[in-house]
Structures are given as structure tokens and as C-alpha cells.
Structure 1
Amino acid sequence: MAIVQKSKLTRDLSISLLLYTLPVVAIYLYFKLGNGVITDSHITLPSFLQFAQPAFANIRTWGLTVFMLVLGVIEFGAGLYDDQWTGEERKIDIISFLAPKLILPPVIAFFSLTALPYLIPDLANSLSWVPFWGGFFLIAVADDLTQYWYHRLHHQVPFLWRFHRTHHSAPYMGMAMLSRQNFIYTIFFSQIYLTAALTYLGLGLPALFVLVIKSFITLGAHSSIAWDKPLYKYKVLHPIAWVLERLISTPATHHAHHADTSGDGVGHFKGNFGNMFFIWDVIFGTGLITRKFPKSYGIKSYKQEEWYAQFLWPIFKSKKEGSALAEGVFAVPLKQKEESISPSPVYYEQAQS
């Protein structure tokens, strides 16, 4: 079994390296076929997108936060959280939403304005000649494929799982839990720094458009408002559904990832790792498409740990007996009959005896 898993991991990483090179090859061929001619149009937005730049800039700075809050109000107004958003759940959701907005910007600013100019001073704007479509393609693949692997490894590596566990402990889906993460998981988001580096190299405009589009897709995938259900209900829309559910994350596929069990044929916490693009799961065989929604979400072994333990483990530990975030807790190999205990596909949580 270990040999098979290692072989699959090696194969998937090899495919990933190929995928990372596709945008680079496409840009190279574009200029090769064009005799290497670079015109002003290559370093500016296409004319049909120039009007959208101010809108995308405003959406990125404050529009997404407003959209998220409005969508959350609609969800609450529709009673989609029932009585589950109480006590520690409110605290961890609110803190996880606010803290990164206060702490992450200075970290990213230091990385972009101080660290990168020091480490690679001669490369600033060195990719500004890349056409908009090329930069968009490059960042879309680099950012989201990197996050796919970051996400996947946090499900498959026992030590890493507990940094991501907070996101899966919520027994509901919606805007309230979208930002719900252990802060260490958030601060080390690998794709954040990769995209910041590409922006420093001159791909700021395509980065802006990619991040806004990705934000809307991930918002929609986490929302308790199942916008994709009409696509499955009406036969005339099935072709659109077929393409969308294989290309991007939808509520059906991402809700399945947050299910508290995989035994019902709908929940799939062992896969559906894609964030913006679901196609990574299709390529690597980690996807499950059922067009159905789980009956319940979260972790069956959830102890409703204190907000500080969920947000800052392992700096602060939980005092809840039997919690995976408590002192002296370790992971042991998963037994098949206990598969539904934790979203980790290989390990489950158990207190040290």
C-alpha cells in the first residue's frame, strides 16, 4: 500500500511539473511564432478589459468583503445555519475573519516591498513584457495548483492536518466559516507569496484579475446557497453543469469535501481539494462528482474546542478531554471501520494513553 501511494504521489508531482510549464511554453510559442516582436499591447490590458480594471481593483480592496458580508446576512436571514452558529463557533469564525485582515497585509507588504527587492533586486518588473493573457494563464495555474497541493498535503500528512482541522470543524457551510482557519495555516499559504513574487516581477494586472475571479469562485463554493442546483435540475442545463463541475469548484463538489463522513457515497473529504479549479482533482483522480449535498458537515470527533486552541494550535492547546488539539495527542494509522472519525484520509485522532 505504501509503495502504491508513493508511486501515485511521484506520478502526480511529475504531472504537476508539466502543468506548471504549460503557460511558459504557451508564452514562448506565442512570441516564437510572432518572430519575437513585442508591442505596447503586450504590456497593457486588452482594450475590452481596460474598463474593468478600476472595478476589479475596488472589488479586490473592499468589494469582496462587502459581498461576503451581504451573502452572509442573506444566509442567516434564510435560516440556513439553524441553531449551529453559537458559542465557540461564533468566536472562531469572527476571529478567523478579522485577524488575517489585520495581520496579513503587513506581512505581505514586508515580503513584497522589502524581502523581494533585497533577494532579487534586478528582477523587478522583468516579466512586464508578458501579454495579459499569458500572465493570467501563468498566475491562474501557479497560484491555484500550488494551493491544491498545499491543501491536499494538509489532509494527507498527519502533523499538517491539525493546522487545517479548524476549517473542517465547522458543522455548517457558509460565509461564516469561509475564513475559518488556524492562523499558522493561513500565514504560510504558499500561493500567497508565489503570487506576490509574480506581481513583483511585473504581472500585477493579471494577478488582480485572477485573485478576484478566484475569490468569487471560492465564495460561491463555500456558500450555503447552492447556486448550482438549477444546473442539475433542468436537463437543458446539464451540458453547462458537466463543464462547470469539472472546471471549477461548485457548492456540490466542495460541500462534499466538508462532509463528516464518506460512507454515504456523497461526502468526499478524501478528495475534492481544488479551490478555484476542480480540474486538478479530475487530473489527479482525487475528485468525486455526485451532484448531491451531504446531510451533515464537520468532524464526528469534534469537541467544540476553545477558539484560541483552534486558531493558534500548537501555541495554545485545548483543555477538552480527548481533543486532537490537547496536550499529549498523537495520530495513529486509520482503521477502515473508523474512517468517518476525521477528514484525514490516512489518519484519525486519538488521545495518548
Structure 2
Amino acid sequence: MELTTESLLAWKSLIVAGWFAAFFVLERFFPAAPFPRPEGGRSLTGVPGTLLLSMGRVIRNLGLWVLNTGLAPLVVVPLSVWAAAHSLDWRPDWWSGAAGLALDLVLLDFLIYWWHRANHELPFLWRFHEVHHLDRFLDSSSALRFHFGEVLLSAMARAGVIILLGFPVSSILVFETLVLMATIFHHSNLRLPPRTERVLARLFITPSIHWVHHHARQRDTDSNYGTLFSFWDPLFASRSPTARDPVMPIGVEREDERPYASLLLRPFRLGTRKGARGR
């Protein structure tokens, strides 16, 4: 059966939805860190097997995701398809098939490492990316929390890469599926056996690595930029020596969480700048 762009998108949605649902439930039965107090309710610490959660932050995260989900078929997917149709035709014949897909995935992960790093180092990009980091706790819903402006900027950057390097749409969709699954995994609060996590971390980004990236201390926030593979950070001297602590403060140094409407408007306010964090 030939896989069309539409069928790949459908499979991507089903796989990611199932993956998210599994982590969302499992992390509440087997949390690595105690879940925060529900807004207006009692603490969840030490209550095994509960599905209670701080609904306010999860609703904010899902609200941002719903907005971005609406943008995907209207802007993100058409832009990627258009870029693939206008890409430079220079790729050799050997850069195809399974080997070509594997090379595409490594190269795309290399590029997304630098894009993520740019989102921290360039003040204009940080305005939008900060919304993701303002979350004061991490679980699988944090993986869906991105400002629509960052999604649009990422789509434009990806379109430029597709045009220059000639990535086929199939490689882009496979990579995006893996990125979403990896992002849900390494933002999750699922408690993993220490040995399993150590083995995985030799090649892949795990929660123990990425939670440090969300530590509310700037020198840790500006580190650990990897998405799929864990070797880019040691290679480019951006790996933090800090070890994950289940009770480490999460968020942005000297900044607080915002209501939903404020999160949407924050990047466009003149007072929003990375200088507030010491730059």
C-alpha cells in the first residue's frame, strides 16, 4: 500500500495520541517527582495510584496545544509540502530508501539541536520559547506547551531547510513523529528504573537529562538542548553537569507562570526580554 502524505499524517496522529495517553496515565501511577498541589486542593504527594492532578496547568498546556493543532493543517503542513515541491534537486540517488531516511533523521536532529539552542540564545526567539519554559512542573502535557508564534517560526525555518537540503515530506513526517514521541517521553514524570534510564541516556535524551534543561536556574536552562540523540550536547559543550533532583524547581529564573491569555500575549509585550534573566 502506498503511503500518501494524508495517510502518514493520520498514522502520526494515532501514534502520538496513543503515546501521550499512555504516559499521561502511567506517570500519575508511577511518578518520579511528587505532583504539585491541585489549584485550590490538597497535595498529591504520597497518594499512590491517583489520577488527580493540578488541572489549571494541564488545561493551559492543552489549550496551547489545541491552538497549534488548528495551525497544523492550515499553515504548518501546507508550508512543508510546498517547500518539498520547491526543494533544490541535488540529492544523489544513494541518499534514498532506508539508509537515506536514517541519514535524514540524524541530520534533522542535528539541525533541531541548533534551532533549539538559537531559541535560547537569540532574544527574539526566546520571547516565544519562554512560554514553554514558564511551566512550573513537568509532565507529558508540558511536551505540548508551545506558543503559536514559536510553531510558526519553526515551520518557516523548517521550510527553508527542506528547500536547501531537499528533505522529502516522508522524512519530515517520520522525524516529527519521533520528535513528538521523544518530547513526550523526556518531559514526562514517569519513574524509570535507574539502570534503564542510564542505558537509554547514552544515546537518547531521557527525563533525567531534559528536566535539568527546565531547571529554574539559567545556566541549566541554557544547556541540554538535544531532542532525540544525547551526543550533540557533549559534542558541542552544552551538556550541564547538574544531576536531576526530583524536587528541583522548574521554570524560568525570577519569572512566574502566567494565565492562558497572558501566555499568548507575552511575546508581543515590549517588557518581555531575555535580559530579565541576566542577559
Structure 2 residue 226 is the aligned partner of structure 1 residue 257: no
Higher relative contact order (CA 8 A, sep 6+): 2
Tell me the percent identity.
20
Match of 2:96 in 1: 131
Matched, 1:82 2:36: yes
Aligned: 1:164 with 2:120: no
SS at structure 2 position matched to 1:314: helix
Give 1:278's aligned amino acid. S
Write the letter of the residue equivalent to 2:159.
Answer: Y
For structure 1, which runs of at least 5 residues remain unmatched after alignment? 1-44, 233-237, 318-326, 335-341, 348-353
User: Distance between the aligned counterparts of 1:196 and 1:305, measured in 2?
Assistant: 35
Cα drift, residue 309 of structure 1? 2.5
Aligned to 1:141: 106
Distance 2:96 2:83 in 1: 26
Distance 1:256 1:329, change over 3 A: closer
One of 282, 295, 305 as aligned partner of 2:234:
282
User: 1:202, 1:282 → 2: CA distance?
Assistant: 27
Listed one character per residue, the Cα deviations across residues 145-202 of structure 1 (whole Å, up to 9, x for unaligned) are 2211121122122333221111111111111211112211112115643676599x57
CA distance in 1 between counterparts of 2:106 and 2:208 reads 23
Partners of 2:140 and 2:184 within 8 A in 1: yes
Question: Take 2:26 and 2:55, find their aligned partners in 1: how far apart are those partners?
Answer: 21
Structure 1 residues 208 and 158 mapped into 2: Cα distance closer, same or farther (>3 Å)?
A: closer
Residue 303 of structure 1: which of 250, 253, 256 is its match?
256
Task: Tell me what 1:273 maps to.
Answer: 225
Deviates more, 1:98-107 or 1:70-79: 70-79
Contact 1:166 1:310 in 2 (8 A): yes
One-letter code aligned to 2:78: F
Question: Residues 1-353 of structure 1: matches in 2 within 5 Å?
Answer: 59-77=11-29, 80-83=34-37, 86=54, 89-114=57-82, 117=85, 119=86, 123=89, 130-189=95-154, 192-193=158-159, 201=166, 203-227=168-192, 229-231=194-196, 241=199, 244-261=200-217, 268-288=220-240, 292-295=244-247, 296-315=249-268, 317=269, 327-332=270-275, 342=277, 347=279
Cα pair 2:135 2:257 within 8 Å, conserved: no
The TM-score normalised by the length of structure 1 is 0.61
Q: How far did 1:303 drift?
A: 3.0
Letter in 2 for 1:308: A
Partners of 1:63 and 1:89 lie apart in 2 by 24
CA positional deviation for 1:105: 2.1
Equivalent pair of 2:214/2:221 in contact (CA under 8 Å): yes
1:9 alignment counterpart: none
8 Å Cα contact 1:59-1:212 kept in structure 2: no
Tell me which amino acid in the other structure corresponds to 2:256: K
Displacement of 1:137 in angstroms is 3.2
CA change 1:226–1:285 in 2 (3 A) is farther
Partner Cα distance (1:141, 1:185) in 2:
23
TM-score by length of 2: 0.75
Distance 2:26 2:236 in 1: 36
Which of these two proteins has the greater Rg computed from alpha carbons? 1
Please, which moves more after superposition, 182-191 or 87-96?
Answer: 87-96
Task: Return the offset for 1:76.
Answer: 3.6
**Counterparts in 2 of 1:184 and 1:148: CA distance versus 1, 3 Å:** same
CA distance in 2, matches of 1:175, 1:168: 14
SS state at 2:229 partner: coil
Task: Quote the RMSD (CA, aligned, Å).
Answer: 3.6
Please give the alpha-carbon distance, in whole angstroms, between the structure 2 residues aligned to 1:109 and 1:160: 21
Contact 2:112/2:227 (CA < 8 Å) preserved in 1? yes
Q: Distance in 2 between matches of 1:281 and 1:183?
A: 27
Q: Relative to structure 1, is the Cα distance of residues 206 and 94 closer, same or farther in structure 2, using a 3 angstrom cutoff?
A: closer
* Paired positions, count: 258
Q: Deviations over 1:32-75 (max 9, x none)?
A: xxxxxxxxxxxxx9xxxx9xxxx987641322112202321333
Which runs of 5 or more structure 2 residues have no equivalent in the other structure? Answer: 39-52
Native 8 Å contact 1:127 1:202 kept in 2: no
Give yes or no for contact 2:136–2:257 (8 Å, CA) kept in 1.
no
